[in-house]
Each structure stands twice: as C-alpha cells, then as structure tokens.
Amino acid sequence: MDLRINLQKLHLFASVVRLGGVGRAADANFLAQPAVTAHIRSLEERLGTELFYRDGRGLSLTPAGRIAYAWAEDILRRTRFCERELDDLAAGFSGRIVVAAGISPGSYLVPAVLAGFRERHPTADVRLAVVPSDRAIEDVRTGRVDFAIVATEPGLKLPGMAVREIGRDEIVLVAAPDSAPHTGTVSIAELGLLPFIDMPEGFPDRCFIEDRLREAGVYERDIVLELGHPEAAKRAMRDGLGYTLLLRSAVARELESGELEQVNVERLHLEVPICLVHYQEIGLSALQERLVERIATALEGLPAGDGPVSFKPAV
C-alpha cells in the first residue's frame, strides 16, 4: 500500500459509495465527473486493488472496496471529531456539542432542555439538527454529530454504535375538541375507522406505530392526509380534518391549553423508547453526558396519561 493517500480521495470515495455513483458525488462536491473518476483511480492505484465492479448498470463495491470503505469512513469520522476539538480549543470554548435529534424529540423535547443547559454552561456551544430518525443515526455513523436522540424500536442494535435508552414517551391519540368523541374513549375496532392524519409512508415513526397497531389487531386505518411534521398535523387537527397519534411531548402544550384533546383507546397503551445513539469507540465527554442527563430528566417529568405503563394488546 502506498501511504501517500490524502483525505480528499477518501472523502470522494466515501461520497461515491454513499450517493450511489460518480455523477452524484461530483455534483455534491462541486467537481467535474472526470475529476472524481481520476481521484478514485488514483486511490485504487495507491491501495493496489480495484474498489468497484464496473458494468453498464453502475458501480458496486468489491470485497476489497468494502474493507476500504469501512476504513475510509472511520478515518473521516475521526477527522471530523479532531476538527471540532481543535476548533473548540482555538475558540476557547469549554466544549462543543453537536446533536442530531429525530423530528419529535428534536422539535419539542431537546430544545426545551437547551435553554436551562446554556444557563448552567454559558460558554458551551451546542448545535442541534432536527432530522428524521434514520438520518440522525446516519449522521452519528459518519461523524457529523456527537450523538443522536431518537424515538426508536425497543432493543435497537446498530453495528459499532452504543444505543442507550434514556427514557420513554407515550404515543397518544389526539383530536380537536369538536372532533373528539363525547365519551373520550374509542374501541380498537373504532380506531380503524377514524380519519387519520399521519406521517408519510416509510417514515420511521409511522412504521413503528403501524407495527404496534398490528400487534393490537388494527391492520388498516383510514388515512386522509399525510404530513411530514407534527406541527402540520396539529394544524390540520385544529381545522377538524381528523385524528393523529403523536408523542405526548409533541402535544403536551395543546393538551394543557385545551386546544386538543386526548382520546383514550380501550386496552391500548403505546410507549416508545427515547434512545441515545453514539459511536461506541469515541464515547461522550463529561459535558455531553450532562446534556444527556438533563434530557433524561425532562422525559421523567412528562405528564403521565391514563392507563397502564406498558403496551397491552387488545384481547
């Protein structure tokens, strides 16, 4: 192996793999396609092996390419971590924290914590990206962020990642007061007949909820509108367009003010783990751990709903 390999070649190689082609990598990095191809060829020469199978349908990694990609990603991740640490040192910060959070935790739970955290640590530089859960986890894997806070499946396992449950949030059925049933309760059978406002198909939050509902015997719902953010769903509910299932942290303010009402579902109570995800080998700094502790404390302080504290399917 020729050790004269620069970071740009590794970055472009990783971009080609992640984006699925030389053309897309060239566009993303503002380079001409022949320039990216030349960097890949040069990297192959220095490593002494071919990294891609090339055919008319596109590129796919060779066995050597898969090894080189894992190596390149590790180097790039550690490089980003080093850059942040050096920037902190030069700027005189007591610490920098870069967080990615899923849409609901990132929109409601984490921002509420940050104000108090900044009061205690005024010189800390905290940056939050609110993205879908799968993107947040990918940002951890590539080293773009220090850790992620996501609502996810129980017992999630991710290669090379540490996944720690820091609390739970309840999934509640809500509607506008004029739309909610007078009894405040619906049956499992009625749940499948209600007009629903939901996340777009394929969103991790929707997949999780649909899996849990199938376990309870709800196989189909009447989805009348798909919206990509809880705020849009809440606006649609206030306009009387239907019901939705959201995390309690996302609707706590509206439930308290009476803008929206919780509708109980007989023999059904859903909770979702809120998890911390970080790169296992790097771990967290003491300052980062303090922020995680405050988020966990905020989860403990969420108002409790009626019913049991774990999922109970209909019988």
Catalogue all structural domains in the chain, each as residue range(s) with its CATH number. 7-76 (1.10.10.10), 86-167+273-301 (3.40.190.10), 169-271 (3.40.190.10)
* Residue 265 CB neighbours (<10 A): 23
Query: How do residues 58-110 score in pLDDT, each as one tens digit?
Result: 789 999 999 999 999 889 888 877 776 676 666 555 678 999 999 999 999 99
Q: Is there a contact between 149 and 103 (Cβ–Cβ < 8 Å)?
A: no
Name beta bridge partners: 77. Answer: none
Q: How far apart are CA 155 and CA 152, in angstroms?
A: 9
pLDDT at 62: 93
Q: How far apart are CA 109 and CA 128, in angstroms?
A: 12
Name beta bridge partners: 53. Answer: 60
Name the residue with higher pLDDT: 223 or 299: 223
Query: How do residues 176-201 score in pLDDT, each as one tens digit?
Result: 998 877 678 899 889 989 999 999 98
Reading the block at residue 288, the tokens are 């980062």
Query: How do residues 256-299 score in pLDDT, each as one tens digit?
Result: 999 999 999 988 888 899 999 998 777 787 788 889 999 998 88
Query: What one-character DSSP code corresponds to residue 243?
Result: B
Query: What one-character DSSP code corresponds to residue 304?
Result: P
Looking up tokens 């009447």, which residue turns up?
Answer: 222
Q: Where are the alpha helices (DSSP H) in the chain?
A: 7-19, 22-28, 33-47, 63-91, 103-104, 110-120, 133-141, 188-191, 204-216, 230-238, 248-257, 286-300
pLDDT above 70 coverage of the chain, percent:
91
Query: How do residues 132-141 score in pLDDT, each as one tens digit?
Result: 999 999 999 8
pLDDT at 65: 94
Name the residue with higher pLDDT: 183 or 218: 218
